[in-house]
Chain A
């Protein structure tokens, strides 16, 4: 019998994911020992786990491209940066969660382990070029998210969001798997590395198989990142899910899926001529559709859902620019994702303050008078909105400028123009949110619980981050490039 060699395992490369999963298990053990206790300990364990994972990640940052564990794990820059962003997102989510969960009376201790595992799944997904691992990471990420969306079981909207997300997510996983099968059929490997050589040397028929597989995988990833026309789940799920879960989902799922998308696009860049047009159409539809549909929403969570759709469109433009001009690297995308993560999670952190007496209150008018009730939250919210629009002192501006210049450099001027138009449209609804928080007076005095330390820290950190990464943009760029 043939004995395959035992694979080498690079503990440093696997470290961040392993540590995070381990601390998730630890959190579960604590929950297991004291099912009626408070969640403080579990929260602390989660934070320690996230910190330990970040230390493991940074200690090995920029060690060059290493493949370990039977070529399945890919340790490279793109992956490490994505992991770092994911850890930041998870940390902020942990910070805002406890008061919110208590307010909604869903303070289950299992929330934190599931959150950590979900993050680990996203990290697995972003640190592999192996389609099998990308799929498994995606499932670990998504299945935890399905559960987290439905965690508020007494609330119909939360159940609806979990069911919708699960059914459509399972459907899109089917597309992804079918695409992976076709690529495996054409190349005989799960790894995206083999695609380029098969494309260069293969026959016309294997080209067809590859393109078919590419198309199906793109459908799956477009679903996960919420591109129009695969976006229908996004507003309902974002609105129905508990706000802290929405905060996590809106950033983490995108960071992981775009890392995988980037690798896919890089591998398929030689076949650009066949798919540039449809993907450009998706980008245009996503940017314009997301922004226009956001204009008519009255629920803040839905507005932010459509806004996240349009931001996915902006990032797709950068992916296409990379496909057309390989010299454009992932720095702009990762910078954009970092700024997007900070501002979106920050905005949802402010929104999570609005939950009161177990109810979700996220209408635009519910924000009225926030300025008087919680000035710091209101100022932070306005900062996030300005950043989301892309106004100069904030990170969103530089992110958009980077993508815009990438698109122009790659000769995708029409897409760059659409990006600019989309940003202009988006100003209307973002500023409406800011106006609701600052200018409009509430009709009746809404119940507002005082912000506790956790959320307060979270959105102040996000606000500082949004400004800081635009101040320190060139060190960050060189750090990403190292």
Chain B
């Protein structure tokens, strides 16, 4: 049952991801990405990480995708932008080189990792009814991870000031 749910969701997510890179229209790519994000969120739900799933929907599907779509709308007023590239020998050679490199690295990584058993450092603990809810997350975030949390606030402030610096403060 578990495996089945996972297989269905994961394969659908992979298909959506393929749709992102294979579809010729930018809007379709973006919409496939929405689907992919949604499926990932459901996947988090099946893992009892409900908070993570909700955040996935709010941040990625909600905020980031709106940015994507709006930019595409701004760009593609000129009918369909042709996203396909012309065929080229270099692409074939490069693709083969890439695949062989991936195979080489893959073998290097797979052979050692194949023997790695499932992590056993934490024995499966009974999960409480609030597992995956925002409450335990808040407890951890504000106690053990308080320092990283405050650092993130600094990081976000830098992001805001920096983006305005680069985009808005113009030389008159």
Q: Interface on A for B, CB 8 Å cutoff? A: 1-7, 21, 25, 28, 69-70, 72-73, 105-106, 108, 110, 113-114, 117, 120-121, 124, 132-133, 136-137, 139-140, 143-144, 146-147, 150-151, 153-154, 162, 185, 187-188, 204-206, 208-209, 212
Contacts and interface: CB of A to CB of B under 8 A. Distances in A.
16 contacts: A1-B135, A3-B139, A4-B139, A7-B146, A70-B146, A139-B155, A140-B154, A144-B162, A147-B162, A147-B166, A153-B166, A187-B121, A205-B112, A205-B116, A208-B115, A212-B109
B122 interface: yes
Contacts of B165: 108, 110, 114, 147, 151
B158 A114 contact: yes
Given A117-B154, A143-B155, A209-B116, A133 B148 contact: yes
Contacts of A113: 161
Interface in B114-141: 115-117, 119, 121-122, 128, 130, 135-136, 139-140
A114 B130 contact: no
A174 to B, nearest CB: 15
- Of listed A136, A162, A206, residue having the most chain B CB within 10 A: A136
Interface of B: 109, 112-113, 115-117, 119, 121-122, 128, 130, 135-136, 139-140, 143-148, 151-152, 154-155, 157-159, 161-162, 165-166, 169-171
- Of listed A28, A73, A208, residue having the most chain B CB within 10 A: A208
B126 to A, nearest CB: 12
B104 to A, nearest CB: 15
Given A7-B143, A147-B162, A188-B119, 5 more contacts: A3-B139, A70-B144, A117-B154, A139-B155, A153-B170
A146 B162 CA distance: 9
B122 A188 contact: yes
Contacts of A108: 165, 169
B151 A144 contact: no
Contacts of B170: 153
Contacts of A136: 148, 151-152, 155
Contacts of A6: 143
B151 A185 contact: no
A154 to B, nearest CB: 5
- Of listed B113, B147, B161, residue having the most chain A CB within 10 A: B147
